[in-house]
Amino acid sequence: MANASSGIAVGDECKMKFLELKAKRSYRFIVFKIEETSYQVVVEKLGQPNEKYDDLVVSLPPSECRYAVFDLDFTTDENCQKSKIVFIAWAPDSSELGAKWYMPAPKIDSGKSWTVFRLNCRLLI
């Protein structure tokens, strides 16, 4: 379904792969891109369960925008093992201004069907 404000749709494969990450932990991360011809968010890369955060960072292009979800494992101050899914909107300074403009739009629409922990951050690499 396309986002009314941007005309960008989130493909069914994106939702299916996200649910596999969330329910089955089939992937450590998923990288999504906006397909230029169809203005649809599609799956670009699936990170295997044994991959790390550094593998995600390496898979993000240095001058193109992407979305990603990452299954983050961590230990709390109380020594309790936790896992949260983090949504990342990757918009490097060297990407085209027009591409950056589209970045927030599908996130708003996809938030209705994807339950994720949202963390706004700037990746330092």
Residue 44 pLDDT more than 80?
yes
Q: What is the mean pLDDT of residues 44-49?
A: 96
pLDDT grade for 26, boundaries at 50, 70 and 90? very high
Residue 63 resides in a domain: yes
Residue 81 resides in a domain: yes
pTM of the predicted structure, to 2 decimals: 0.75
Across the chain, what does the average pLDDT equal? 77
Q: What is the mean pLDDT of residues 92-98?
A: 68
| CATH, residue 91 | 3.40.20.10
Q: In what order do the strands lie in the sheet with 9-10?
A: 9-10, 40-47, 29-35, 66-75, 81-90, 117-118
pLDDT digits (tens, 9 = 90+) for 6-18: 567 788 898 899 9
In 3D space, the residue among 49, 23, 46 whose CA is nearest the CA of residue 115 turns out to be: 23
Print the domain residue range for 44: 9-118
